[in-house]
Amino acid sequence: MKMKKLLALALAGTMALSMAACGSSSESASSDSAASTDSSAESTEGGSGEKLVIWTLAKDLDAFGQYYQEKTGTEVETVVIEPADYPTKVQTAIMGGETEPDIIVGEPQMLQDMYDNGFFANLDELGAKDHEGEIVDYVWKVGQDADGIQRAISYQITPAGFYYRRDIAQEVFGTDDPTEIGKLFADYDTILDTAKTLKDAGYRIFASDSEVGYFSGDSAWVVDGKLNVNEARYDYMDLVVALYQNDLTAYANQWSTPWYQAMSGEVPILTAEIQNYEDDSVNVWDAESFAEATKDLEKTEVFAFGLPAWGVLTMRDNVGDTAGKWGVCSGPAYGFGGGTYIGISELSNRKELAWDFIQFVTLNEETADWWIEKSQGDTVSLIAALDKHKDDANEVYGGEQLYSFWLEQAKGIDYSKVTKYDQVINDAWGAAIGNIKTGTMSKEDALAGFYDTVESTYPDITVER
């Protein structure tokens, strides 16, 4: 009997609750939509109660939004969305005809698809043409679609460089000058020689064999609809295989514990088996058991890391006692990695305001100064700001003037070599190299597998084997 009463009560509660819940949510939904129509009406009039809606995948933009609100009084609503789901979210909203968000963003590998689908508004119509040349050239180009129309702009540059240990350079090569050390990384053969010299001196050139990855794109993967595997690609493959098979790295995996530890000093030289997890006696993800299991292994110090400009922050947080002993130099080719590009949604009703925001974030020198301070050393894309800070010395990197260095590197980036196929083809090429270096496949088999992958993923690309 009790049971029945209880159930009846629960059911009555169910109905009441669900009705209340539905009622309140529909109410707030309608008031919300009312509010948004209000604000869009206001924004067309250009009143002071304007509002801007930003959908972003990088938390950075939240800070920019708040700063904009502080400076202009415009209400900025920033919605941060998980990066992996960001394209899905934007796609459904824009295909569903939503006029909000006003500002949408993308990372370089997503941008081509977003341009092709017409998600970004034409910034040239809003006056982007007037600012050509104020932003580092490659960033400007990444923000253009296939027809050369400006669709997005980034506030950062992300050119890649080698971060190297000055003290080791001084000892082995007799100099720590970035230009001189840069010559040791000038091409793939030289890197191999440098690696051998360092090994003879008791050091290792890299912690992992992936460090040259950012510099491997010296030619476009696809030219006129044809897969283009030029000589430099094979040279890169040979370099990685040689680094691996001749014991020239510390066999750490990028982003694993020993890889980070190598930034702050001595690390044990692992074996190829440990790196591949064939030998699981060493747990590379656990610092304590790692120290215990590797105490009998030979120790070494690592000379260099290859990372984009944001590596400045990663290294700074992990170098520990070696702070001040690092330097940054150029690599065998120009490369870049990552970056957040900001554009306006094609369906936005507040394009003028949104364009003002983009100008504020990317083209305003004062904002750039603020961001350099706020992010503690992010590299901005505004040339005027880079010029202004070109004499700033970074003490972690032995007082090197990093902003002028990155600007030089960024100038060398040729964006025409970047295609929308890069991500998949790079992954397939990396997998082929992995199979060759560990000996699981012959070179012919691995290359055949690579061609198969490209052919099946992109049937429209002609593959000549």
Partner 1 sequence: MGFKIKKSILYIALIILGLTCLLPFMLMVVNATRSGAEISQSFTFIPGHNLQENWNRLFEYFNLFAGIRNSVIVAVPATLLGVYFPAMTAYGLAMYKFKGNNVIFGAILAFMMIPGQLSLIGFYQLCSTLHLVNSYIPLVIPAIAATGTVFFLRQYIIASVPTSLVEAARIDGANELYTFHRIIIPLVSPAMATMGIMGFIGNWNNYLLPMIILTKTDKFTLPVMMATLRAATDLASNQGATYLAVAISVIPILLVFCFFSRYIISSISAGAVKG
Which parts of 288-347 interact with partner 1 (CB under 8 A)?
288-289, 310, 313
Count Cβ atoms below 10 Å from residue 87 Cβ, excluding itself: 18
- Cis ω for the linkage preceding 87 (within 30 of 0): no
Is residue 66 close enough to count as binding partner 1 by CB under 8 A? no
Which parts of 135-174 interact with partner 1 (CB under 8 A)?
none
Query: Of the two residues 166 and 350, which places its CB atom closer to partner 1 in the complex?
Result: 350
Cα(201)–Cα(195) distance, integer angstroms:
10
Sole binder of partner 1 in the list 40, 75, 89, 264 (CB under 8 A): 89
Query: Of the two residues 60 and 218, which places its CB atom closer to partner 1 in the complex?
Result: 60
Residue 257 CB, nearest approach to partner 1 (Å):
6
Number of residues that bind partner 1 (CB under 8 A): 53
Residue 95 CB, nearest approach to partner 1 (Å):
6
Which parts of 233-262 interact with partner 1 (CB under 8 A)?
257
Residue 345 CB, nearest approach to partner 1 (Å):
12
Q: Which stretch binds partner 1 (CB under 8 A): 71-79, 298-306, 359-367, 401-409?
A: 71-79
Q: Tell me which amino acid residue 149 is.
A: I
Sole binder of partner 1 in the list 41, 46, 73, 92 (CB under 8 A): 92
Residue 353 CB, nearest approach to partner 1 (Å):
18
Is residue 44 close enough to count as binding partner 1 by CB under 8 A? no
Query: Of the two residues 7 and 393, which places its CB atom closer to partner 1 in the complex?
Result: 7
Is residue 3 close enough to count as binding partner 1 by CB under 8 A? yes
Residue (of 394, 203, 431, 208) closest to 307 by Cα position = 208
Sole binder of partner 1 in the list 9, 79, 201, 393 (CB under 8 A): 79
Residue 197 CB, nearest approach to partner 1 (Å):
32
Is residue 60 close enough to count as binding partner 1 by CB under 8 A? yes
Place of tokens 């890197």: 191
Cα(108)–Cα(86) distance, integer angstroms:
13
Tokens of 11: 């059911």
Cα(448)–Cα(436) distance, integer angstroms:
12
Is residue 99 close enough to count as binding partner 1 by CB under 8 A? no
Query: Of the two residues 50 and 107, which places its CB atom closer to partner 1 in the complex?
Result: 107
Q: What is the DSSP letter of 154?
A: E
- The residue length of the chain stands at 465
Query: Of the two residues 22 and 223, which places its CB atom closer to partner 1 in the complex?
Result: 22
Is residue 4 close enough to count as binding partner 1 by CB under 8 A? yes
Can you say how many angstroms the Cα of residue 79 is from the centroid of all Cα atoms in its chain? Answer: 20
Tokens of 174: 């007799």
Q: Which stretch binds partner 1 (CB under 8 A): 3-11, 38-46, 115-123, 269-277?
A: 3-11
Residue 57 CB, nearest approach to partner 1 (Å):
6
Cα(19)–Cα(17) distance, integer angstroms:
5
Instruction: Note every long-range contact of 49-53, with CB atoms under 8 Å and residues 24 or more positions apart, other chains counting.
Output: 49/75, 50/74, 50/75, 50/350, 50/353, 51/75, 51/76, 51/77, 51/350, 52/76, 52/77, 52/102, 52/103, 52/350, 52/353, 52/354, 52/357, 53/77, 53/79, 53/100, 53/101, 53/102, 53/103
Q: Which stretch binds partner 1 (CB under 8 A): 98-106, 216-224, 327-335, 359-367?
A: 98-106
Cα(65)–Cα(54) distance, integer angstroms:
8
Give the three-state DSSP class for 55: strand
Sole binder of partner 1 in the list 9, 28, 170, 442 (CB under 8 A): 28
Q: Which stretch binds partner 1 (CB under 8 A): 88-96, 167-175, 246-254, 396-404?
A: 88-96
Phi, psi of 156 (to 5 degrees): -120, 160
Residue 390 CB, nearest approach to partner 1 (Å):
24
Is residue 31 close enough to count as binding partner 1 by CB under 8 A? no
Calculate helix-pair angle for 60-72, 365-374, nearest 10 degrees. Answer: 130
Residue 82 CB, nearest approach to partner 1 (Å):
4
Residue (of 376, 405, 455, 420) closest to 114 by Cα position = 420
Which residues lie near partner 1 (CB under 8 A)? 3-4, 7-8, 11, 14, 17-18, 21-22, 24-26, 28-30, 32-33, 55-60, 77-85, 88-89, 91-93, 95-98, 100-101, 257, 285-289, 310, 313, 375
